[in-house]
C-alpha cells in the first residue's frame, strides 16, 4: 500500500506511522520461530502487506504525526506555484468554467432572496464551494454517475441542467422533473446521470459503491462519484461505504467537501483525527487532500482519481474549503461563528475571485466585461425565476403516483377518498394553484 | 477423514441427500456452517410444537421433486442467477453457502463476482444493494437474521422504499430484494427469533413477503426478485429443514399481494403467515374435532400491500375473524388487518375480531413455549369466538 499511495505523491498514513516508529523498526524480531506467524499475518491478515514484530512498546500518537498535505496548483492570487501542474486549459474552456461558477453564485443569490421573501419554502446556497463542484465535474466523463449530498448544484450545472430545471424543482411546479415530491434543492436528473438527492445524510455513499460494482461488472467504462460533507462522513454509512469499496474493489471516487462546519458543529467536534483524508489509508483506499478553492487542484486530482478508479480501485478526495453561506435558509450562522472569519474567506480566499485573477492574467477576461456579464446573467436567472413562478403544480393525484411501479388497491381507494372529500370541501384547499387536477385517473 | 465423513453425513441428512450441496470450499468453512446449522436447527423435541402441512403445487408448473424450504430458496436463486446475468447475491457468509446453507453451490456455479461475501455491516449491505439496483442490476441481499435488519432500517425505509417516489420515477431500486431468516426457532432468544414485518409494514413503497412452505418460498422469492419494487422476503427458519414437499423443478412465480385460502370453512376465518399458518391449520383441526367449529384458514403471504379482498370475502361468509402472528400484539400487523376488516365487514361481524399473538415482551429464551401463540391459545380463542 505504501508504494501504491506514494505514487500519488503523498506521504501515507503508513509512512507517517513509520516516521514516528523510526526507532522501533530496527528492533523487529527475525527469529525463525516467528516466520509462520509473520507469513500468516502478512498474507491473510494484512493482504500481503508486510507484518513485523517489535519489542519496543510504543503507542502511535496521531497528534504528533504530520497531517496529509493539501495539494494546490495555484496560490491565493491565482498564480501557478509549480508550472508543471498547469493543466493548460484553452481560452474557451476556461471562460466556460468561470461562467458556470458565477452563474451558480448568481442563482444562489436570487433563490436565497426568494426564500427570504417567502416565494420558495427552502434553499441552500453553494457559496465558497463553486470550484470544488465545477472543478471535479469538469474532470469527469459526462456519463459518470453522480450521487450528491445537496450542496453540489454546480456539478449538475456543468452538465447542462438548465436554470429552468433548477428553479422549477425549487417551486415543485408541474415542470419539475421530480414532480414536486421533494423539498427544494433535492435535484435529480436521469439525463445528466445525477441520482436524485435525498435528505438523510450519507445514505448515498454505500449506494454509490453498489452502482460502481454494477458498472465494474458490465465494464462500461463509467465510474461513480459520490459527494458528501465532513459531517456526513461521521455517519455509519460512510464507514460502510469505504470498507465495501475497498474489499469489493469498486470504481468509485469519494469526494468529501470539508467546509469546516456541519450546520453549527465545527470540525473539532466532528472528528479527532487528520480530517477525512486521514481515514482513507486505514481502509486501504488511495487518498488525496486538495485545496478545494483551487479549481486547478480539484480538476487535476479528480482526473487522476478517475484513472485510478477505472482500474477498479476506489479513491478518496478531501477538498478543503469553507462554507461561506449559512447552512441553509433555516439557519443563521452568525449565532456560532464570527463575521470576520466569513469575510476573509469571502473576500480574500474566494474560489471564483481566484479563478478570475487567472483569466485576467491570461488576458482572457477584463474587469469591464464583468459588469456586463453580471447584468446579463442576473437577467437570465430572474427571467427563469418569474417563468417558474407562473407554472401551476400538478394535480393532487400525482401524490399517489410512483409509490410503487403499479398503484396498489389501497392507493386507488385512498385517491378516490380524497376526490370525494374535495368534492365537498374544495374551498378549504389551495386547488387554484393545482391546475391539472384530473390529469390522471 | 472420519470427522469429514461425519460432517458430510450431517449435511447430507440436513439437505435430504442431495449431493449437489456437498461441494464445500474447505473443512473450516464446512464446520462453521454445520455449527451454525446445528445451533439454529430445530431439534425433534422442539418440533413437537407444530406439524407442517404440506401443500400441492399447481400441476401446470410441471414436474416436481422433494425439497425442503432451504433447498427451495437455493433453487429459486439458482434460477434467478441463471435467467438474469445482472443478478448478484451477497451478504455475510453467503460465499461458502450461507450459515443456513441457502446459497450452497451458487458461487461455484456463477462466479465470485456474482455470489460474494460483504463486510459485516447491514447498513452497508442494504445501501450497496440499492446502488446495484439503481444502476440496473438485480440485487439479492441477505441479512443473516431478521433481528439484525435494524441497522439497515434507514436504508430500507428512507431510501429503498422512497426512491421511485422522491425522484418522480426517474430513479428506482425495484430490482432489490432483501432476504432475511425470520421467526421463532425454539431457542433463538431475543435476537434469533424476531418477526419484524410490522415495523416495515408502516412503510409505503415496500413489499413484504413471507412464505409458509417450500412451494410458496420458491415461487414468491422469484416474484420478489423480478418485481419492479423493493421487496423484503422473510424466510421462516423453523421451516428451513422441517418443511418438505413436492416443489416444481422449473421456473415459476406466485403472484404477490395475493392471499390464499388453504382450508375452507364456514364459521371462523383464521388469518396468518409463515410458520403460524401450520399452527392455525392444527388449531382448525382440533376446533373441528372438539367443538365442531368449521374454520377457514387464509395464508396472507404478502404482508404489504396485502390482499384485503380475499380476507374480507371470507369474513363476510364466516362473520368471525381471528388473526395470529408470532410478533408482539401491540401494533403488530394483526391490528391493521383487524381495523380494515372491521371497516369493510362491520355488518357481517358477529363477534369482536380476535388477535392471538406474541406477548408485548422481548422474545424470551427459556420461556419460548409460553411466549408463542400456540395452537392451544388459538383453539381457546376460536372457542371464545364461537361462543360469543
Judging contacts by C-beta atoms under 8 Å, the chain B residues touching residue A226 are: none
A214: nearest CB among B127, B132, B170: B132
Q: What pLDDT, on the 0 to 100 scale, is given for residue A77?
A: 85
Residue B143 contacts A, CB cutoff 8 Å: no
User: Which SS3 state, helix, strand or coil, does residue B261 take?
Assistant: strand
- Is A74 part of a structural domain of the chain? no
Phi-psi map region of B101: left, alpha, beta (phi>0 left; psi -120 to 50 alpha): left
- For chain B, domain boundaries: 62-248, 260-386
Q: Is A94 in the same domain as A231?
A: yes
Query: Considering only residues 243 to 282 of chain A, which have any Cβ-Cβ distance to chain B shorter than 8 Å?
Result: 243-244, 247-248
- Is A32 part of a structural domain of the chain? no
CA dist A227 to A72, A144, A204, A378, B173, Å?
20, 13, 9, 28, 20
Average pLDDT over residues B238-254: 97
Q: What pLDDT, on the 0 to 100 scale, is given for residue B5?
A: 37
How many residues does this entry show for chain B?
388
Judging contacts by C-beta atoms under 8 Å, the chain B residues touching residue A212 are: 131
Average pLDDT over residues B132-149: 98
Q: How far is B257 from chain A (nearest CA, A)?
A: 9
Instruction: Let me know: does B155 contact A201? Beta carbons within 8 Å.
Output: no
Cβ pair B229:A405 closer than 8 A: yes
Angle at B224 between CA B195 and CA B273, to 5 degrees: 35
A215: nearest CB among B121, B135, B151: B135
Residue A78 contacts B, CB cutoff 8 Å: no
DSSP string, B176-215: EEEEEEES--SS-GGGSS--THHHHHT-TT-EEE--SSHH
* Domain residue limits at A156: 83-389
Set of cell numbers at residue B132: 446495484
B51 φ/ψ angles, rounded to the nearest 5 degrees: -120, 135
Which CATH number belongs to the domain containing residue A280 in this structure?
Answer: 3.40.50.970
- Measured between alpha carbons, how far is A132 from A297 in angstroms, rounded to an integer? 9
List the catalytic residues of B.
Answer: 122, 192
Residue B258 contacts A, CB cutoff 8 Å: no
As a CATH number, domain B260-386 is: 3.40.50.920
Judging contacts by C-beta atoms under 8 Å, the chain B residues touching residue A218 are: 86
Q: How far is B230 from chain A (nearest CA, A)?
A: 9
pLDDT of B24 over the 50 cut: no
Q: Is A371 in the same domain as A400?
A: no
- Measured between alpha carbons, how far is A81 from A97 in angstroms, rounded to an integer? 21
Phi-psi map region of B106: left, alpha, beta (phi>0 left; psi -120 to 50 alpha): alpha
Average pLDDT, chain A: 92
Q: Which of B126, B167, B202, B205 to mutate to test the interface with A (most CBs of A within 10 A)?
A: B167
Q: How far is A196 from chain B (nearest CA, A)?
A: 6
- Give the confidence band of B37 by pLDDT, cuts at 50, 70, 90: low
Q: List, for residues A91-103, the tens digit of each pLDDT value.
A: 999 999 999 999 9
Set of cell numbers at residue A225: 462519484
CA dist B137 to A213, B84, B88, B172, Å?
10, 9, 8, 11
Query: Considering only residues 202 to 221 of chain B, which have any Cβ-Cβ distance to chain A shorter than 8 Å?
Result: 204-205, 207
pLDDT of B18 over the 80 cut: no
Q: How far is B127 from chain A (nearest CA, A)?
A: 5
Domain count, chain A: 2
Closest CA to B257 of A133, A406, A197: A406
Q: Is A257 in the same domain as A341?
A: yes
Cβ pair A205:B172 closer than 8 A: no
Place of cell 413484504: B208
Q: Which of A194, A210, A211 to mutate to test the interface with B (most CBs of B within 10 A)?
A: A210
**What dihedral do alpha carbons A19, A25, A27, A31 form, nearest 10°?**
170
The secondary structure element, H or E, covering residue B21 is none
Q: What pLDDT, on the 0 to 100 scale, is given for residue A307?
A: 98
Q: Is A90 in the same domain as A237?
A: yes
Closest CA to A148 of A226, A213, A263, A81: A226
Cβ pair A206:B118 closer than 8 A: no
- Is A28 part of a structural domain of the chain? no
User: Which SS3 state, helix, strand or coil, does residue B54 take?
Assistant: coil
Higher-pLDDT residue of A144 and B25 is A144
Q: What pLDDT, on the 0 to 100 scale, is given for residue A367?
A: 84
Q: Is A287 in the same domain as A414?
A: no
Q: Among the residues of A248-392, which ranges form H helices?
A: 295-309, 339-347, 351-362, 367-390
- Measured between alpha carbons, how far is B152 from B162 in angstroms, rounded to an integer? 14
Q: Which of B124, B172, B206 to mutate to test the interface with A (most CBs of A within 10 A)?
A: B124
Alpha-carbon B206 to chain mean position: 15
Alpha-carbon B133 to chain mean position: 22
Strand pairing partners for A145?
A224
- Measured between alpha carbons, how far is A146 from A166 in angstroms, rounded to an integer? 17
Options 3.40.720.10, 3.40.50.970, 3.30.43.10, 3.40.50.920; CATH of B62-248: 3.40.50.970
- Is A169 part of a structural domain of the chain? yes
Cβ pair B135:A404 closer than 8 A: no
Q: Is A122 in the same domain as A271?
A: yes
Residue B26 contacts A, CB cutoff 8 Å: no
Average pLDDT over residues B170-185: 98
Enter the ipTM.
Answer: 0.92
Residue B308 contacts A, CB cutoff 8 Å: yes
Q: What pLDDT, on the 0 to 100 scale, is given for residue B11?
A: 39
Per DSSP, B42 falls in state P
Angle at A343 between CA A339 and CA A344, to 5 degrees: 125
B155: nearest CB among A176, A203, A224: A203
* Burial class of residue A269, CB neighbours in 10 A (0-12, 13-18, 19+): exposed
How many residues does this entry show for chain A?
441
Q: Are strands B244-248 and B231-236 parallel, antiparallel or unpaired?
A: unpaired
Q: Is A272 in the same domain as A419?
A: no
Judging contacts by C-beta atoms under 8 Å, the chain A residues touching residue B305 are: 404, 408-410
Instruction: Let me know: does A290 contact A71? Beta carbons within 8 Å.
Output: yes
Q: What pLDDT, on the 0 to 100 scale, is given for residue A348?
A: 86
Q: What pLDDT, on the 0 to 100 scale, is given for residue B49?
A: 75
Q: What pLDDT, on the 0 to 100 scale, is given for residue A6?
A: 43
DSSP string, A7-42: TTT---HHHHHHHHTHHHHTT----GGGHHHHHHII
Judging contacts by C-beta atoms under 8 Å, the chain B residues touching residue A404 are: 164, 205, 207, 228-229, 305
Packing angle between helix A351-362 and helix A130-138, nearest 10 degrees? 60
B168: nearest CB among A179, A211, A244: A179
Q: Is A182 in the same domain as A236?
A: yes
Q: List, for residues B327-381, the tens digit of each pLDDT value.
A: 999 999 999 999 999 999 999 999 999 999 999 999 999 999 999 999 999 999 9
CA dist B310 to A109, B299, B313, B341, Å?
57, 10, 5, 11
Judging contacts by C-beta atoms under 8 Å, the chain A residues touching residue B113 are: 217
Residue A181 contacts B, CB cutoff 8 Å: yes
List per-residue pLDDT tens for chain A, 441 residues long. 344 434 444 444 444 444 444 444 455 555 677 889 999 999 999 999 999 999 999 999 999 999 999 999 999 888 999 999 999 999 999 999 999 999 999 999 999 999 999 999 999 999 999 999 999 999 999 999 999 999 999 999 999 999 999 999 999 999 999 999 999 999 999 999 999 999 999 999 999 999 999 999 999 999 999 999 999 999 999 999 999 999 999 999 999 999 999 999 999 999 999 999 999 999 999 999 999 999 999 999 999 999 999 999 999 999 999 999 999 999 999 999 999 999 999 998 999 999 999 999 999 999 889 999 999 999 999 999 999 999 999 999 999 999 999 999 999 999 999 999 999 999 999 999 997 554 444
Q: List, for residues B259-286, the tens digit of each pLDDT value.
A: 999 999 999 999 999 999 999 999 999 9
Q: Is A104 in the same domain as A235?
A: yes
Q: How many CB atoms lie within 10 A of CB A431?
A: 14
Q: Is A93 in the same domain as A127?
A: yes
Question: Hey, do B62-248 and B260-386 end up sharing a CATH topology, with the first three levels equal?
Answer: yes
- Measured between alpha carbons, how far is B251 from B217 in angstroms, rounded to an integer? 13
Place of cell 442494504: B126
Amino acid at each position: 500500500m505504501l508504494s501504491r499511495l506514494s505514487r500519488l505523491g503523498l506521504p501515507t498514513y503508513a509512512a507517517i506511522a513509520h516516521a514516528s516508529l523510526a526507532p522501533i523498526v530496527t528492533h523487529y524480531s527475525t527469529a525463525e520461530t516467528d516466520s509462520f506467524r509473520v507469513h500468516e499475518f502478512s498474507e491473510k491478515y494484512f493482504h500481503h502487506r508486510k507484518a513485523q514484530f517489535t519489542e519496543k512498546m510504543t503507542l502511535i500518537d496521531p497528534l504528533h504525526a504530520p497531517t496529509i498535505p493539501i495539494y494546490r496548483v495555484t496560490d491565493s492570487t491565482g498564480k501557478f506555484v509549480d508550472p508543471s501542474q498547469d493543466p493548460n486549459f484553452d481560452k474557451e474552456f476556461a471562460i466556460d468554467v468561470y461562467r458556470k461558477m458565477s452563474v451558480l453564485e448568481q442563482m444562489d443569490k436570487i433563490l436565497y432572496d426568494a426564500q427570504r421573501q417567502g416565494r420558495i419554502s427552502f434553499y441552500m446556497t453553494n457559496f465558497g464551494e463553486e470550484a470544488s463542484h465545477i472543478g471535479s465535474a469538469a474532470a469527469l466523463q459526462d456519463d459518470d454517475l453522480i450521487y450528491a449530498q445537496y450542496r453540489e448544484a454546480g456539478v449538475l450545472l456543468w452538465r447542462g441542467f438548465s436554470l429552468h430545471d433548477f428553479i422549477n424543482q425549487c417551486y415543485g411546479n408541474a415542470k419539475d422533473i421530480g414532480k414536486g415530491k421533494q423539498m427544494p434543492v433535492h435535484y435529480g436528473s436521469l439525463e445528466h446521470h445525477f441520482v436524485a438527492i435525498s435528505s438523510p445524510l450519507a445514505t448515498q455513499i454505500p449506494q454509490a459503491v453498489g452502482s460502481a460494482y454494477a458498472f465494474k461488472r458490465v465494464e462500461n467504462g463509467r465510474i461513480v462519484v459520490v459527494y458528501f460533507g465532513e459531517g456526513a462522513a461521521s455517519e455509519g454509512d460512510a464507514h460502510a461505504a469505504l470498507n465495501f469499496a475497498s474489499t469489493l474493489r469498486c470504481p468509485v471516487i469519494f469526494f468529501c467537501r470539508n467546509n469546516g462546519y456541519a450546520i453549527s458543529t465545527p470540525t473539532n467536534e466532528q472528528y479527532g483525527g487528520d480530517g477525512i483524508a486521514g481515514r482513507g489509508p486505514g481502509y486501504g483506499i488511495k487518498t488525496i487532500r486538495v485545496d478545494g478553492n483551487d479549481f486547478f487542484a480539484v480538476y487535476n486530482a479528480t482526473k487522476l482519481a478517475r484513472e485510478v478508479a477505472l482500474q477498479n480501485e476506489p479513491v478518496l478526495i478531501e477538498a478543503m474549503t469553507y462554507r461561506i453561506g449559512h447552512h441553509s435558509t433555516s439557519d443563521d450562522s452568525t449565532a456560532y461563528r464570527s463575521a470576520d472569519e466569513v469575510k476573509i474567506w469571502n473576500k480574500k480566499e474566494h474560489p471564483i475571485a481566484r479563478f478570475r485573477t487567472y483569466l485576467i492574467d491570461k488576458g482572457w477576461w477584463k474587469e469591464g466585461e464583468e459588469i456586463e456579464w453580471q447584468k446579463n446573467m442576473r437577467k437570465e436567472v430572474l427571467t427563469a425565476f418569474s417563468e417558474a413562478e407562473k407554472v401551476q403544480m400538478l394535480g393532487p393525484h400525482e401524490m399517489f403516483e410512483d409509490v410503487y411501479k403499479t398503484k396498489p388497491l389501497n392507493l386507488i381507494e385512498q385517491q378516490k377518498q380524497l376526490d370525494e372529500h374535495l368534492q365537498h370541501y374544495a374551498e378549504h384547499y389551495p386547488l387554484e394553484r393545482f391546475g391539472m387536477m384530473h390529469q390522471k385517473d | 477423514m472420519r470427522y469429514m465423513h461425519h460432517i458430510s453425513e450431517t449435511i447430507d441428512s440436513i439437505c435430504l441427500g442431495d449431493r449437489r450441496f456437498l461441494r464445500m470450499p474447505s473443512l473450516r468453512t464446512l464446520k462453521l456452517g454445520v455449527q451454525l446449522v446445528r445451533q439454529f436447527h430445530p431439534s425433534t423435541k422442539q418440533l413437537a410444537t407444530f406439524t407442517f402441512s404440506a401443500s400441492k403445487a399447481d400441476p401446470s408448473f410441471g414436474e416436481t421433486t422433494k425439497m425442503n424450504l432451504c433447498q427451495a430458496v437455493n433453487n429459486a436463486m439458482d434460477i434467478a442467477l441463471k435467467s438474469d446475468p445482472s443478478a448478484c447475491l451477497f451478504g455475510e457468509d453467503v460465499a461458502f453457502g450461507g450459515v443456513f446453507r441457502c446459497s450452497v453451490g451458487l458461487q461455484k456455479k456463477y462466479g465470485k463476482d456474482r455470489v460474494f461475501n460483504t463486510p459485516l455491516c447491514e447498513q452497508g449491505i442494504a445501501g450497496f444493494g440499492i446502488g446495484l439496483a439503481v444502476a440496473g442490476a438485480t440485487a439479492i441481499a441477505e441479512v443473516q437474521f431478521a433481528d439484525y435488519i435494524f441497522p439497515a432500517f434507514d436504508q430500507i425505509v428512507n431510501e429503498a422504499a422512497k426512491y421511485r417516489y422522491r425522484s418522480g420515477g426517474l430513479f428506482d431500486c425495484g430490482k432489490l430484494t432483501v432476504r432475511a431468516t425470520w421467526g421463532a426457532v425454539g431457542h433463538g432468544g431475543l435476537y434469533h427469533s424476531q418477526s419484524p414485518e410490522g415495523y416495515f409494514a408502516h412503510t409505503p413503497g415496500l413489499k413484504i413477503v413471507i412464505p409458509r412452505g417450500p412451494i410458496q418460498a420458491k415461487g414468491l422469492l422469484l416474484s420478489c426478485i423480478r418485481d419492479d419494487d423493493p421487496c423484503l422476503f422473510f424466510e421462516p427458519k423453523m421451516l428451513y429443514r422441517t418443511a418438505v414437499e413436492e416443489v416444481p423443478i422449473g421456473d415459476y412465480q406466485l403472484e404477490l399481494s395475493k392471499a390464499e385460502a388453504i382450508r375452507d370453512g364456514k364459521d371462523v376465518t383464521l388469518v396468518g403467515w409463515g410458520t403460524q399458518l401450520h399452527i392455525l391449520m392444527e388449531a382448525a383441526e382440533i376446533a373441528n374435532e372438539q367443538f365442531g367449529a368449521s374454520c377457514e384458514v387464509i395464508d396472507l403471504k404478502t404482508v404489504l400491500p396485502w390482499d384485503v379482498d380475499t380476507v374480507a370475502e371470507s369474513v363476510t361468509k364466516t362473520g368471525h375473524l381471528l388473526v395470529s402472528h408470532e410478533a408482539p400484539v401491540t401494533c403488530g400487523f394483526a391490528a391493521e388487518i383487524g381495523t380494515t376488516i372491521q371497516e369493510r365487514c362491520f355488518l357481517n361481524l358477529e363477534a369482536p375480531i380476535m388477535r392471538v399473538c406474541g406477548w408485548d415482551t422481548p422474545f424470551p429464551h427459556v420461556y419460548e413455549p409460553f411466549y408463542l401463540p400456540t395452537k392451544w391459545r388459538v383453539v381457546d380463542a376460536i372457542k371464545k369466538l364461537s361462543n360469543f
